[in-house]
Amino acid sequence: MSNFKRYPSNETVAISLASFEQLALGQNSNAHAGLESNNKWHRKLLALPAYYWVLITQVLVILPHAAHLPLWLMGFAIVSVLAQLPLIKAKFKKGRRLKRVYQSMQMLGFLLGLAGLWLTYNTAFGLDMGVAFLVLCLISKLWELYKRRDAYVVLNLSLFVLAALFLMDQGIITTLAVIVGVVIVLLAFIALNDDGNTRGDGRLRTLGVLGVGALPLLVVLFLFFPRLPPLWSVQLSGQQATTGVSDSMSPGDFANLGQSTELAFRVEFDGNRPPQQQLYWRGLVFSNFDGVTWRPSAKQRQWQPALQSPPWIKNAIETIPDEAKATPNSYQIILEPTQQNWLFGLDYPFAQQQDISITSNFTLLKDQPVTQQLRYDVLQFAPMRIDSNLTEESRRLNLALPNNGNPQARALAKQLFAQSGSDPVRYMEAIERWINQTDFRYTLSPPRLNNNRIDEFLFETKAGFCEHYSSSFTFMLRAAGIPARVVAGYQGGEPSRNGNVWEVRQMDAHAWTEVWLEGQGWIRVDPTAFVAPERVEQGMEALTQAQGAAMFGDGAGAQISYQQYQVLQTLRRLSDQASYYWQKDVVGYDQDKQADSLLKWFNIRSIMQQITWLAISAITIMAILVFIIWQRRRKRWHPADLPLAQLSKRIGKGDKSLARTDNEGQLAWLERLAEAMGSKAAQAKIVQIKQNYRQLRYGYLSPLETRDSEYQKVLKQLKRNVRELL
């Protein structure tokens, strides 16, 4: 019995109530008995009618899109799936009025969905809009689920919706979700074509045959199919990832990020890695301060080094000693999606890519926001003098302070600066001594600050992390007339589990100060090291392990937060390691890596050779699969029947009437064959063959194993008699 019935072409919505309930719910005696006889839940699941499998498929196909689809569209999807449940759908078929209501809901839902997409995305184009429209089409098609043909359309459209997930994200979690979805879609296809199987027997075996046959072809296509550049490109999207560095900074921005083990980026060094205390990953430079928040200046210049070297870089490189100019530090950064266009690099970064520019503050900028994992090459020249001659405009920008606010910090700055003989270096040393002599502490859970944040931090709370120390230190330098600015980025990191790459996480987000000194240019000073030098020298991970729950505050809540941090960190590391290899070896398997691997393994040097290997490998695998299927499905003979089958085939070539028919027993056929033989010797030989066959199939030898010596002796006599008869 079919799970979907082919109705006449003039029947669209009006279908028989009895037939729908019988087909969709599986409420026939055989189906009910089949479900009752299966006690295990997975057998009951496999025995579900195809209609239910189609609905299950929609849940598993649409659910992974929840991260980027609008909430109203997910709500419409839930309502649509529930409306297709047989108990609900059957009620709409009772009477013409309810049928019209059902049709109106279908049309109204689609039209309102189109209007909702327009209002949500404010455009008729775009990747997010396209994926959402595809999901809307799938949801709307569910309201037309009546015939087997409709089910085929829904399942095929489901495969497109699953594939659209890769446009939003190409991570390993997304890939696993797509694999699960494809498996369920295949099971729905199998159920749809498995008429009369009320027990679901053999469906998993069919799925296994399809999967085993597809995997070798998948590997061959992955390895050998040419990675040709696309005719057009689509900017991938994904709103779930954010950066650990904001485009502004005020006390409190990094509080949650300090406890996050989420990966920010990975680094692959071509040579030796710099020491831990020198790993300052430069991001944004904050020069504007309104008394509460630091922001980048809008007056910084931009340049594309790939086209021409910026003048500020030329001036800085001229300050490098000759022995260091020829040996810049080269490394690759694999940046996770940030939805922002600024990049990170060691002080001071330099990238020669056409889509990456560099500002006069040595901030790397991508031409588009980073919406997918980005790999870029960076050079580091060190040591360099940056802005040896400071312009008046830059001096005013990096000395500017609000006219009012934080009077205690201003007074302290003037006092310490005067006591230091107006020497900037001695003044910074005096600030460090004052901080060390005062009860300051490093914590990830500092008290909240109000309006005069610098004063409250320096003279009241005296507890904070990098943001508090860099902001206050920069304020005091400016209050003393010394140009200074805040740099936000990351500091430190840790090696991966196998040690081949360097990993920087959101917990490594950091802020420090750059001070301009006469004759030296901009120099880095990290005031966090005044209080917690181990944060800089050993990294955030080492500091957290050393201080334990104290990093997260006081009391039982801090201990719970610390335990959660440790568990999440372990899970995150394992997940990140798997994600790293997936992105590097699978997603990142581009034409360059393909050329290197094929040349190394198969000595393939041209596209023509590559296509030849692809064709040969695909044909070989398909031939092997066909042979295996033929072997499994070919007719298998009992050892005693095989010689007689060969005898029938040989005799039938001369006279087809003498060959054994399919509904004719072996002994009856031998009897008929003996009557047709005119030779006494041939008839006598057939008598011996019949005697051997009876002993093997029905006599005292039939219970024995076919490998038994006595059994084999009689079987050999049978084969010899057949050969002599031929």
CATH code, domain carrying 547: 3.10.620
Considering the domain architecture, whether residues 554 and 676 belong to the same structural domain is answered as no
- List all residues 6 or more positions away from 719 whose beta carbon is below 8 Å from its beta carbon: 643
Please determine, for residue 3, whether its predicted confidence score (pLDDT) is greater than 80. no
pLDDT of the residue at 544: 56
Dist CA 502 CA 209 (whole Å): 42
Phi first, then psi, for residue 267 (nearest 5°) are: -135, 135
- pLDDT in the model for residue 455: 92
Do 545 and 437 belong to one domain?
Answer: yes
With respect to residue 262, please indicate whether it lies within any of the assigned structural domains: no
Clarify whether residues 420 and 546 are in a common domain.
yes
| pLDDT at site 36 | 44
- pLDDT bracket for residue 155 (50, 70, 90): very high
Question: Is 189 inside a domain boundary?
Answer: yes
User: SS3 string of 84-125?
Assistant: CCHHHHHHCCCCHHHHHHHHHHHHHHHHHHHHHHHHHHCCCC
Q: Tell me, yes or no, whether 559 lies in a domain.
A: yes
Q: Is 137 a catalytic residue?
A: no
Residue 101 pLDDT grade (very low, low, confident, very high; cuts 50, 70, 90): confident
Domain-embedded: residue 662: yes
How many structural domains are present in the chain?
Answer: 3
186 Cβ contact list (under 8 Å, min separation 6)? 207, 210
Helix, strand, or coil (residue 360): coil
Q: Is the pLDDT of residue 664 over 90?
A: no
Contacts 24+ apart (CB under 8 A), 519-525: 519/388, 520/385, 520/388, 521/319, 521/385, 521/386, 521/387, 521/388, 521/390, 522/386, 522/387, 524/280, 524/347, 524/487, 525/428, 525/473
Mean pLDDT of 425-429: 95
**What confidence category does residue 326 fall into, taking pLDDT thresholds of 50, 70 and 90?**
low
pLDDT at 655: 82
Span 422-435, average pLDDT: 94
- Average pLDDT value for residue range 416-442: 92
Q: Are residues 415 and 557 in the same domain?
A: yes
Q: Do 566 and 648 fall into the same domain?
A: no
Residue 424: per-residue pLDDT? 94
Q: Are residues 562 and 710 in the same domain?
A: no
Helix (H, G, I), strand (E, B) or coil at 491: strand
pLDDT at 262: 76
Instruction: Assess whether pLDDT exceeds 50 at residue 505.
Output: yes
Element (H, E) at 377: strand 374-380
Q: Is the pLDDT of residue 429 over 60?
A: yes
Average pLDDT of the segment spanning 184-206:
80
> How high is the pLDDT of residue 573?
59
The verdict on 518 and 648 lying in the same domain is no
Catalytic residue, from 169, 387, 526, 576: name it. Answer: 526
pLDDT at 555: 59
Q: Which one of 387, 466, 468, 508 is the catalytic residue?
A: 466
Residues 6+ apart with CB under 8 A from 84: 55, 142, 143, 145
Of residues 711 and 8, more confidence is placed in 711
Q: Are residues 538 and 676 in the same domain?
A: no
Report how far residue 62's alpha carbon sits from residue 55's, in angstroms, rounded to the nearest whole number: 11
Q: What is the mean pLDDT of the chain?
A: 79
User: Which of 152, 171, 201 is the last residue in one of the domains?
Assistant: 201
Let me know if residue 697 belongs to a domain.
yes
Confidence of residue 581 (pLDDT cuts 50, 70, 90): low
Same domain for 529 and 651, yes or no, is no
Largest CA distance in the chain: 135
Query: Looking at the predicted structure, is the pLDDT value of residue 183 above 80?
Result: yes
479 and 485 Cβ atoms separated by less than 8 Å: no
pLDDT, greater one: 244 or 273? 273
Q: pLDDT at position 514, please?
A: 95
Indicate if the pLDDT at residue 663 is higher than 60: yes
Rounded distance, CA 449 to CA 637, Å?
A: 88
Asked if pLDDT for residue 316 goes beyond 70, the answer is no
Catalytic residue among 65, 68, 468, 510: 510
What mean pLDDT comes out for the span 378-383? 78
CA 480 to chain CA centroid, Å, is 51
Does 584 score more than 70 pLDDT? no
Q: In a 10 Å sphere around its CB, with 0-12 CB exposed, 13-18 middle and 19+ buried, how is residue 205 labelled?
A: exposed
Q: Which pLDDT value is given to residue 26?
A: 46
Question: Which of these, 485, 486, 488, lies nearest to 244 by C-alpha position?
Answer: 488
- DSSP assignment string, 578-615: HHHHIIIIIIT--HHHHHHHHHHHH---SHHHHHHHHH
Q: How far apart are CA 237 and CA 368, in angstroms?
A: 12
Least confident range from 278-287, 330-339, 675-684: namely 675-684
Active site residue 510: yes
pLDDT at residue 320, rounded to an integer: 63
If residue 510 lies in a helix (H) or strand (E), which one and from where to where? strand 509-517
Q: Which residue has the higher pLDDT, 505 or 228?
A: 505
- Asked if residue 331 is part of any domain, the answer here is no
Range in 140-149, 252-261, 268-277, 439-448 the model is least confident about: 252-261
Segment 341-351 mean pLDDT: 87
Whether 419 has a pLDDT exceeding 90, the answer reads yes
Shared-domain flag, residues 414 and 553? yes
The segment with the largest mean pLDDT, out of 85-94, 419-428, 538-547, is 419-428
Minimum mean pLDDT range among 441-455, 510-524, 537-551, 694-708: 537-551
Lowest mean pLDDT among 405-419, 443-457, 535-549: 535-549
Amino acid 361: pLDDT: 87
pLDDT for residue 321: 61
What is the distance, to the nearest Å, from the Cα of residue 709 to the centroid of all Cα atoms in its chain? Answer: 60
Angle formed at CA 107 by CA 104 and CA 111, multiple of 5 degrees: 130
DSSP secondary structure of 240-279 = S---SS-SSB-TTTTTTGGG---EEEEEEESSPPPPGGG-
pLDDT of residue 24: 54
Q: Choose between 326 and 274: higher pLDDT.
A: 274
- 111 shares a domain with 25: yes
Chain centroid offset of residue 386 CA: 41
Highest mean pLDDT among 411-415, 503-507, 585-589, 706-710: 411-415
Tokens for 69? Answer: 């689809």
CB atoms within 10 A of CB 630: 9
DSSP state letters, 437-454:
HTT-EE-SSPPP--SSHH
- The pTM of the full predicted model, rounded to 2 decimals, is 0.54
Using a pLDDT cut of 90, give the percent of the chain over it.
Answer: 22
- Per-residue pLDDT tens for 26-77? 444 344 444 444 446 667 777 788 888 899 999 999 999 988 889 999 999 9
**Calpha distance 217→265 (Å, rounded):** 34
| Residue pair 506/257 in contact by the 8 Å Cβ criterion | yes
Pairing, β 349-350 against β 374-380:
antiparallel
Lowest mean pLDDT across 285-289, 479-483, 500-504:
500-504
What is the bridge-based pairing of β-strands 280-286 and 484-491? antiparallel
**Count of all residues that appear for the chain in the document:** 726
Q: How far is CA 564 from the centre of its chain?
A: 24
How high is the pLDDT of residue 454?
92
- State which residues form the domain around 417: 392-490+509-570
Amino acid letter, 95: G
Which of 201, 229, 252 is the C-terminal boundary of a domain?
A: 201
Position 553 confidence tier, pLDDT thresholds 50, 70, 90: low
* Cβ neighbours around 226 below 10 Å, total: 11
Interior angle at CA 385, CA 384 and CA 390, nearest 5: 155
Q: Are residues 49 and 180 in the same domain?
A: yes
Is 108 part of any domain?
A: yes
Residue 7 lies in a domain: no
- The answer on pLDDT for 548 being more than 90 is no
Choosing from 180, 201, 222, the residue where a domain stops is 201
Of 55-69, 107-121, 269-283, 412-426, where does the model show the most confidence? 412-426
Structure tokens belonging to residue 458: 């320096």
Indicate the range of 287-296, 519-528, 677-686 predicted with least confidence: 677-686
